[in-house]
């Protein structure tokens, strides 16, 4: 877990260093505006933030602070990075949870029904829809939804943060992309389970079709799906960066993009670290759910 | 009157490779209190026959003919009515215990579910009944087993759990599909004892699908031998096993360790592209040229039925080949 966080921070730090533009100058422009910028101001910033030092020293110093629990201060606003991120985090979490809910609500029923009616019109329709969902870029789908439902129909606000109406379009945009993958996996996993010997046993007992699916097939079929959904959470954070930008959603993703444009190293590193932490945490939760779903894993350790 | 009457049953599968005639014109009668063995090599259609009775077949299968259970035609019964018969009137003990129990549910949950499906009892009562049933089947520490998952049980234990699941509804017809497959000799004998006890207790008819002749000799009253989708010899187990007439039945018995482990040469024909004459023609040691062209019908003899031209022409292949010691040798 620590290794993942360290690796991610390391890579972003050096990628940022390679990005064009002189950081001190960019920061100075953001702080004082481009018109009345003096070389002196730039020099002061460079010296104060240690930007004149070699990059590995900068990274080392940042790492030292992080290990003491100090994410530093934003180079632009002067606020502590942690405060800035925590202020934005609930919005991202809301969006992620809503998007995941949208995705599962679409994907699980679609996948199960497609499997039960294999080779039917419903199956082909669902899987074609899934293919479209995978292929469509988030920002483009977001813009299309915005155009139709916000601009033309006026059902939902175009962008911004506020009541439940605001979250609908971004959640759908973010959710459909990953729903497509989940639906396909649910279908194939369900098909595999339906062909198992224990399905014959369940049928021979005299169980009804509904109870066979809900009681015997679903839990087995969900095992691979849970892994997938966990991995998708990473995808969700990545998508949040795009979708939050498109919909002006004040989350960590938008903060991250703003930090990149302003060359706000401290804030950027903080955001990346939080994303990495979330990703690792979700994977841990997935492992726990996995153990609950599949008793074969539970008992291997106990011997 | 017989409990189950199968007449001219044909089960066909539609596959990309062509039509597979898994069961081809089988007629069979099962009587209350009697155990009938259905034997034959892998792929001869005996399992499909068992599945056909309960209509547990995939969507690409078609069943024709007639299956009457207590006078009622099963092939015309709507799915909802048939479901009420499954488990309660006709039960099925599936083969391969390793994969026939749901891996993510406890033994208790799977047994209790079955019990409550057929009897209106509380969860607690059903659990007690499940434990009692497992104890009846000689499963050690039944209470503990109920809390365990299938992968924690041995093959023999799982097979007994499946047998328990089959008999909870007190069915009058029990179909056991290879109940001794993959079990070692001791467990196999235990399983045979379990089946014998269950049928003796309930007076049910048992259809025992197996390729294990020792089990047939030990358990069955009647026996039917299947080859390439057809029954080729049937009659009382004692008669058929000690004095087999059909060259295939003789070959089967000859392949037993007690009779020198002589394999039958060749492989059985593809069920997609069946030969015109006798289906055993290419492997038969006694074949005449006519056997390759004329399809033999099932000929009734005083003590049995046999599908072979040798007997259709009124010829009797006299002596019992292996003698009376078989019963002793195989049990």
Q: Which range (A59-63, A125-129, B284-288) has the least confidence? A: A59-63
Chain A hits for B167, CB-CB cut-off 8 Å, are none
Q: How many Å lie between the alpha carbon of A119 and the closest alpha carbon of chain B? A: 12
Q: Which range (A101-105, A266-270, B107-111, B202-206) has the least confidence? A: A266-270
**B331 pLDDT above the threshold of 50:** no
CA distance A73 to A68: 14
CA distance A291 to B208: 39
- Taking an 8 Å cut-off on Cβ atoms, the answer to whether B117 and A204 are in contact is no
Residue A75's nearest CA partner among A248, A261, A278, A252 is: A261
pLDDT in tens, A134-180: 788 877 888 888 888 887 887 877 777 777 778 888 888 888 888 88
What's the pLDDT score for residue A210?
87
CA distance B67 to A249: 67
**B87 pLDDT above the threshold of 60:** yes
What's the pLDDT score for residue B326?
43
**Regarding beta strands B173-177 and B205-210, do their DSSP bridges make them parallel or antiparallel, or are they unpaired?**
parallel
pLDDT in tens, A170-223: 888 888 888 888 998 999 999 999 888 899 999 898 888 888 888 889 888 988
What's the pLDDT score for residue B313?
58
Over residues A65-77, the mean pLDDT reads 76
What's the pLDDT score for residue B327?
43
Mapping DSSP to helix (H, G, I), strand (E, B) and coil, where does residue B18 land? strand
Over residues B189-196, the mean pLDDT reads 84
Strand order in the sheet with B4-15: B18-30, B4-15, B61-69, B72-73
Q: Where are the beta strands (DSSP E) in chain A?
A: none
Q: How many Å lie between the alpha carbon of A205 and the closest alpha carbon of chain B? A: 4
- Taking an 8 Å cut-off on Cβ atoms, the answer to whether B56 and A203 are in contact is yes
Residue B131's nearest CA partner among B149, B153, B147 is: B147
CA distance B118 to A125: 39
Chain B hits for A295, CB-CB cut-off 8 Å, are 103-104, 106, 149, 151
**B66 pLDDT above the threshold of 50:** yes
Q: Which range (A73-82, A209-218, B39-48, B59-68) has the least confidence? A: A73-82
pTM: 0.76
pLDDT in tens, B271-282: 888 888 899 998
Chain A hits for B113, CB-CB cut-off 8 Å, are 205, 207, 215
What phi and psi, each to the nearest 5 degrees, are found at residue A298? -55, -40
Chain B hits for A196, CB-CB cut-off 8 Å, are 99
- Taking an 8 Å cut-off on Cβ atoms, the answer to whether A219 and B105 are in contact is yes
Q: In degrees, to the nearest 5, what angle opens at C-alpha A293 toward C-alphas A289 and A298? A: 85
**B233 pLDDT above the threshold of 90:** yes
pLDDT in tens, A76-95: 777 888 888 888 888 888 88
CA distance A127 to A113: 11
Over residues B230-259, the mean pLDDT reads 90
**B238 pLDDT above the threshold of 70:** yes
- Taking an 8 Å cut-off on Cβ atoms, the answer to whether B92 and A204 are in contact is yes
**A283 pLDDT above the threshold of 90:** no
Give residue B11's pLDDT band: very low, low, confident or very high (50, 70, 90): very high
CA distance A117 to A302: 40
**B323 pLDDT above the threshold of 70:** no
pLDDT in tens, B141-185: 888 999 999 989 988 889 889 988 888 888 899 999 988 877 778
**Residue in chain B lying closest to A211 (CA):** B113
Residue B283's nearest CA partner among B263, B264, B311 is: B264
**B285 pLDDT above the threshold of 60:** yes
Over residues B57-83, the mean pLDDT reads 90
Chain B residues touching chain A at CB-CB below 8 Å:
51, 54, 56, 83-88, 91-92, 94, 96, 99-106, 113-114, 117-118, 149, 151-152, 162, 165, 169
**Residue in chain B lying closest to A303 (CA):** B152
Q: How many Å lie between the alpha carbon of B275 and the closest alpha carbon of chain A? A: 31
Q: Which range (A21-25, A151-155, A281-285, B240-244) has the least confidence? A: A21-25
- Choose between A303 and A114: higher pLDDT: A114
């Amino acid at each position: 877990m620590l290794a993942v966080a360290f690796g991610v921070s390391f890579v972003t730090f050096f990628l940022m260093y390679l990005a064009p533009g002189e950081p001190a100058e960019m920061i100075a422009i953001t702080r004082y505006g481009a018109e009345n910028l003096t070389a002196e101001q730039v020099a002061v910033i460079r010296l104060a933030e240690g930007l004149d030092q070699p990059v590995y020293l900068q990274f080392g110093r940042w790492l030292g602070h992080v290990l003491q629990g100090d994410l530093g201060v934003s180079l632009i606003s002067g606020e502590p990075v942690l405060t800035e991120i925590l202020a934005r985090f609930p919005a991202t979490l809301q969006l992620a949870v809503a998007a995941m809910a949208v995705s599962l609500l679409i994907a699980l029923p679609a996948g199960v029904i497609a499997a039960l009616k294999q080779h039917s019109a419903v199956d082909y329709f669902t899987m074609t829809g899934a293919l479209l969902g995978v292929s469509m870029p988030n920002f483009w789908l977001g813009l299309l939804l915005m155009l139709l439902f916000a601009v033309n129909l006026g059902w939902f606000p175009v962008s911004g943060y506020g009541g439940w109406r605001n979250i609908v379009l971004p959640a759908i945009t973010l959710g459909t992309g990953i729903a497509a993958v989940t639906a396909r996996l649910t279908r194939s996993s369900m098909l595999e389970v339906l062909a198992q010997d224990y399905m014959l046993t369940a049928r021979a007992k005299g169980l009804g079709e509904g109870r066979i699916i809900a009681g015997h097939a679903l839990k087995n079929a969900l095992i691979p799906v849970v892994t997938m959904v966990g991995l998708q959470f990473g995808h969700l954070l990545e998508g949040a960066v795009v979708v939050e930008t498109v919909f002006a959603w004040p989350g960590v993703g938008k903060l991250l993009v703003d930090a990149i444009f302003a060359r706000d190293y401290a804030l950027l590193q903080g955001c990346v670290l939080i994303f990495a932490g979330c990703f690792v945490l979700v994977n841990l939760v997935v492992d726990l759910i996995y153990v609950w779903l599949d008793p074969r894993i539970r008992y291997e350790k106990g011997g | 009157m017989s409990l189950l009457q199968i007449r001219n049953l044909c089960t066909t599968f539609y596959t990309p490779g062509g039509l597979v005639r898994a069961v081809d014109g089988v007629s069979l009668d099962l009587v209350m209190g009697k155990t009938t063995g259905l034997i034959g090599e892998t792929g001869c259609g005996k399992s499909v026959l068992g599945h056909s009775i309960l209509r547990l077949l995939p969507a690409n299968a078609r069943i024709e003919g007639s299956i009457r259970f207590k006078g009622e035609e099963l092939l015309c019964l709507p799915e909802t009515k048939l479901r009420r018969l499954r488990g309660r009137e006709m039960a099925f003990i599936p083969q391969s215990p390793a994969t026939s129990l749901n891996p993510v549910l406890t033994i208790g949950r799977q047994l209790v579910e079955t019990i409550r499906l057929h009897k209106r009892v509380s969860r607690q009562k059903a659990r007690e009944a499940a434990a009692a049933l497992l104890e009846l089947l000689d499963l050690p520490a039944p209470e503990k087993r109920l809390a365990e998952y299938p992968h924690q049980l041995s093959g023999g234990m799982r097979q007994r759990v499946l047998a328990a699941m089959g008999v909870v509804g007190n069915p009058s017809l029990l179909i056991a599909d290879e109940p001794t497959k993959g079990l070692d000799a001791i467990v196999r004998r235990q399983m045979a004892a379990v089946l014998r006890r269950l049928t003796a207790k309930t007076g049910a008819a048992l259809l025992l699908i197996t390729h294990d002749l020792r089990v047939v000799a030990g358990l069955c009253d009647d026996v039917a031998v299947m080859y390439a989708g057809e029954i080729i010899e049937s009659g009382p187990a004692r008669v058929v096993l000690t004095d087999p007439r059909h060259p295939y039945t003789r070959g089967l018995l000859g392949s037993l360790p007690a009779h020198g482990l002589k394999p039958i040469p060749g492989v059985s024909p593809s069920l997609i592209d069946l030969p015109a004459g006798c289906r055993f023609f290419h492997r038969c040691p006694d074949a005449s040229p006519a056997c390759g062209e004329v399809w033999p019908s099932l000929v009734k003899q005083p003590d049995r039925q046999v599908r072979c031209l040798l007997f259709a022409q009124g010829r009797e292949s006299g002596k019992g080949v292996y003698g009376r010691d078989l019963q002793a040798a195989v049990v």
